[in-house]
Structure 1
């Protein structure tokens, strides 16, 4: 486990490879913001505890620290720019932006930009220069002070109300000598701070006015107030994932929900809720997120569903209508695990959905509908049902249908396709999606990518018919083969077959329609008895 933790820490925490696998642009954005901000925090904000300990001669105004500070700030600004572009200009499909996202971007932007502006105003500030001279220099000679001031105006970018250029060479040489004697040990050339110095050149015409208005002091208060507000609100905001995210990744890498204590699982799930970055990857990969367009229930989208669950976990009382919306969002999930696999912080989302279902059942909210037999994996209060009396959902329907499908039982019996049912083809053709079975040419792509097929050593024996064979059975109109296959009922509706089909066959939708037709045929049979 130690080796696993080390590998996960390097690959998924430091390098964030899970994010890179999903979206290269978002990986660049996240790496810029995360590492830029963390390095600024460690090197600059906590310099007394870290940088000064590691580097005894550390001064924030000498190199390489002066350059690195602006470099890390530039990284964060670039990352924020990409974030704004993705959310408000590029508008990634299914990526929802809420107030928390805007706050996270805003507070980080204020901290970084106010810091850069503060440094820029200090570069041109005459009062800052005077304070430095009074505190650190020991020059009794007036000529030396004038030479030093001339050097700061010429070489360091300071704006003086009395000393103006151009300066003669002798004066600058004397100023340089005074600078090297009194200032060089703790002050690098301001040009090293490329962002701040560049901004100082822009505001140079306004320098004296800004200085007299005490703008550097105002920016200092804004910068530190923003830092303290961000720190105080950190545990209650999405930025808390900076701390909890790595812990969640490491915990999910070594914990097994099947063998772990329930208290530990509950603790991990609470930690997972705080680890969520609301990046929208789970929503982008969700196989049923398209249902949001029809139902307009925001809780269908996994990333938004987590927000409601987090409120519920914190003890917020949801109204009956809000609980019903959460219930619909929880049960429409088909448990295809795509969101869990794609999550960049490794959250076990399926475990959370199952726990929510159980919690809703305890509150008296039963299931609304069935999209997959796996939706019943947990949540039907099996603990309150005698094991011998418990029957899996849809089991009766499967048994009734299999009794009618004689061809699946007699696999050696030749099939007379001349007597195939045209009714099946016509029924499927009523649906624009299900009718696409007719263009299948049995390339087996759907079977190759199917996770259900991959889970069996001998899928043909276990499932009866494979996805591409079911499409062929539909084309032939052989109802027994189409209805009687276990594949029809074991499908987890992950839509991978449908997404990968080169012919655009809506394989999953065909299987849905076949289920409906099969159950309908059983109901008609029972009704006539």
Structure 2
């Protein structure tokens, strides 16, 4: 067994083992969306296939999904032409290289007439497919560097996947360029296929391959003394036509490799030597083996899993469809679990769901990446596998409960994953875990509504949460910490007089602790932590009447809003370190 066969078998075995591990891990991860926490049935049981028009329509629907979505990726065109162009270049180019280069002994020689890798159009097509892949990688890199929504969700795994693809193709081009200039490859070809030992014919053939094929001869054969260069060239062309052209086209048709070989011509004596070509071949093959082994462990697994999900889910999930597969009395642990497992693993981390997420603005404020659907799905898989530490578990819970279930991520997902169903099920499981005492409280609104505004104010006034959080320490000075914000305030009480919260209070001093005008005055004196405990801060409805009517233009409502964000950051910090739970139980007992 040679190196190529042995390495390929080992790589394929590792790849299959990786997919088996991934499936097992995913089936564990899907338990958080268990039958006990199914989304509510929002649609009646669908009619049977015969009642909808026959099984033939179902077959046609799957065939349409395969042709349009899997092969031609029409669903990507509707979302973004540049995204489709990038993906089509990568997919079509790589499939072309796989069939006509990597699998030429299995596919090309059996299907294509008169196939030889060094003949046109196959030599030209190999360069075309390689260039398509590199163009797709370049477009992917450009998009991830320039599109804000993609920049914030790009991980090292995304860069590694692009790097390994580019490295495989580039090493292939360099290898082909080295072979074009290699005298050792020429000598090997002559020894295997050229039966004549006439020195004049060999010298003429060398002259033709040096002039027309780009070979760099470091040790050329001696030229016969009785022949002119023109006569020797004519003899070489005659020999070339007889012995070589049936298997070799002009290397200039390799429109990427040939110019590259000209650029690398100074290094041809090293690269084109037997050791140089062999080294480049091993580098190229080892990179291919690395790509095969890496396939099930990174985002490149979507090459298989995304088409599978597109076939399992031939039409896009709709909000009203809800839990259709379970609404007919079927076992939710079979078809639904399998569909969710495939859906969770089909994500290609393209970032489209995060670009369109309706609560993405919360990520800009809270900094929790798991608010974004593409990152939350990754956390969902890790949670099911038990791979989240306490900080990650808190971030996942917080990101889950910030979701408003607007269905936008499901509507735009190019892999057609039913994300809405996953979010609903995972949130129900998180609430069940919290009720059982084993969960992590991550829902900001549930955290806030545990106490009234007065009780929260009391916690701050007692100094329970006066330690600045990391988010607060890293927060740029905006309003509350800038004396310039309040210099114009003349304590005219206009903000207090127009405030509907003050107007609704029977005794503002007793019910709100401080009025807006008093809060501005205390902030002007640098007493920010003291006003965090004022019930006015927590009772403000952010109607902006105070700010709109202020004769001095003081940003009263914005300041109150910022104070609540500071307090919220401290609550999140305390909850993350389990202090909030302890303080909550203490306050609950005191209440």
Q: What is the distance in 2 between the residues matched to 1:12 and 1:170? A: 59
Question: Structure 1 residues 242, 276: CA separation in 2 closer, same or farther (over 3 Å shift)?
Answer: same
Deviation at 1:422, TM superposition (A): 11
Q: Map 1:291-330 onto structure 2 (within 5 A).
A: 291-313=362-384, 315-330=385-400
Q: Once the two structures are superposed, what CA deviation does each residue of 1:117-138 show, in whole Å capped at 9, x if it has no partner?
A: 0000010011111111111111
Q: Where does residue 458 of structure 1 map in the other structure?
A: none
Question: Structure 1 residues 131, 240: CA separation in 2 closer, same or farther (over 3 Å shift)?
Answer: same
Figure out how many residues of one structure are paired with residues of the other and give that number: 382
Q: Once the two structures are superposed, what CA deviation does each residue of 1:17-39 show, in whole Å capped at 9, x if it has no partner?
A: 22222222121111111111111
Deviation at 1:142, TM superposition (A): 1.3
Q: Where does residue 181 of structure 1 map in the other structure?
A: 242
Q: Where does residue 433 of structure 2 map in the other structure?
A: 363
Q: What is the distance in 1 between the residues matched to 2:231 and 2:428? A: 84
**Equivalent residue for 1:352, pick from 384, 399, 422:** 422
Q: What is the distance in 2 between the residues matched to 1:316 and 1:152? A: 62
Tell me whether 1:130 sits opposite 2:187 in the alignment. yes
**Equivalent residue for 2:342, pick from 254, 271, 280:** 271
Runs of 5+ in structure 2 lacking a partner?
1-57, 447-497, 504-539, 549-591
Tell me whether 1:430 sits opposite 2:501 in the alignment. no
Q: What is the distance in 2 between the residues matched to 1:181 and 1:73? A: 31
Q: Where does residue 518 of structure 2 map in the other structure?
A: none
Deviation at 1:309, TM superposition (A): 1.4
Deviation at 1:95, TM superposition (A): 4.1
Q: What is the distance in 2 between the residues matched to 1:328 and 1:290? A: 14
Equivalent pair of 1:95/1:283 in contact (CA under 8 Å): no
**Equivalent residue for 2:253, pick from 192, 196, 203:** 192
**Equivalent residue for 2:73, pick from 4, 8, 16:** 16
Question: Structure 1 residues 109, 14: CA separation in 2 closer, same or farther (over 3 Å shift)?
Answer: same
Deviation at 1:162, TM superposition (A): 3.6
Deviation at 1:56, TM superposition (A): 4.9
Deviation at 1:53, TM superposition (A): 1.2
Q: Where does residue 332 of structure 1 map in the other structure?
A: 402
Please give the secondary structure, in 2, of the residue aligned with 1:290: helix
Q: What is the distance in 2 between the residues matched to 1:361 and 1:428? A: 28
Deviation at 1:369, TM superposition (A): 4.8
**Equivalent residue for 2:279, pick from 178, 200, 218:** 218
Q: Where does residue 258 of structure 1 map in the other structure?
A: 324
Please give the secondary structure, in 2, of the residue aligned with 1:363: helix
Deviation at 1:155, TM superposition (A): 0.4
Q: Where does residue 142 of structure 2 map in the other structure?
A: 85
Question: Structure 1 residues 431, 346: CA separation in 2 closer, same or farther (over 3 Å shift)?
Answer: farther
Deviation at 1:214, TM superposition (A): 2.3
Q: Once the two structures are superposed, what CA deviation does each residue of 1:419-473 show, in whole Å capped at 9, x if it has no partner?
A: xx9969x9977349x99xxxxxxxxxxxxxxxxxxxxxxxxxxxxxxxxxxxxxx
Tell me whether 1:242 sits opposite 2:303 in the alignment. yes
Equivalent pair of 1:286/1:302 in contact (CA under 8 Å): yes
Please give the secondary structure, in 1, of the residue aligned with 2:266: helix
Equivalent pair of 1:234/1:240 in contact (CA under 8 Å): yes
Q: Where does residue 97 of structure 2 map in the other structure?
A: 40
Equivalent pair of 2:85/2:136 in contact (CA under 8 Å): yes
Q: What is the distance in 1 between the residues matched to 2:443 and 2:147? A: 36
Question: Structure 1 residues 95, 14: CA separation in 2 closer, same or farther (over 3 Å shift)?
Answer: farther
Moved more, 115-124 or 140-149: 140-149
Please give the secondary structure, in 2, of the residue aligned with 1:112: helix
Question: Structure 1 residues 105, 337: CA separation in 2 closer, same or farther (over 3 Å shift)?
Answer: same
Q: What is the distance in 2 between the residues matched to 1:130 and 1:15? A: 44
Please give the secondary structure, in 2, of the residue aligned with 1:346: coil
Q: In angstroms, what is the RMSD of aligned CA positions?
A: 2.6
Deviation at 1:320, TM superposition (A): 2.7
Moved more, 81-90 or 106-115: 81-90
Equivalent pair of 1:238/1:274 in contact (CA under 8 Å): no
Question: Structure 1 residues 19, 431: CA separation in 2 closer, same or farther (over 3 Å shift)?
Answer: farther
**Equivalent residue for 2:202, pick from 119, 126, 145:** 145
**Equivalent residue for 2:115, pick from 58, 75, 83:** 58
Question: Structure 1 residues 106, 422: CA separation in 2 closer, same or farther (over 3 Å shift)?
Answer: closer
Equivalent pair of 1:18/1:343 in contact (CA under 8 Å): no
Equivalent pair of 1:251/1:268 in contact (CA under 8 Å): yes
Q: What is the distance in 2 between the residues matched to 1:89 and 1:139? A: 60
Runs of 5+ in structure 1 lacking a partner?
372-420, 436-529
Q: What is the distance in 2 between the residues matched to 1:161 and 1:241? A: 47
Q: Where does residue 207 of structure 1 map in the other structure?
A: 268
Question: Structure 1 residues 128, 213: CA separation in 2 closer, same or farther (over 3 Å shift)?
Answer: closer
Equivalent pair of 1:94/1:283 in contact (CA under 8 Å): no
Q: Where does residue 69 of structure 1 map in the other structure?
A: 126
Deviation at 1:143, TM superposition (A): 0.8
Tell me whether 1:3 sits opposite 2:60 in the alignment. yes
Q: Where does residue 506 of structure 1 map in the other structure?
A: none
Q: What is the distance in 2 between the residues matched to 1:94 and 1:368? A: 26
Q: What is the distance in 2 between the residues matched to 1:37 and 1:153? A: 32
Tell me whether 1:169 sits opposite 2:230 in the alignment. yes
Equivalent pair of 1:126/1:211 in contact (CA under 8 Å): yes
TM-score (norm 1): 0.68
Equivalent pair of 1:18/1:342 in contact (CA under 8 Å): no
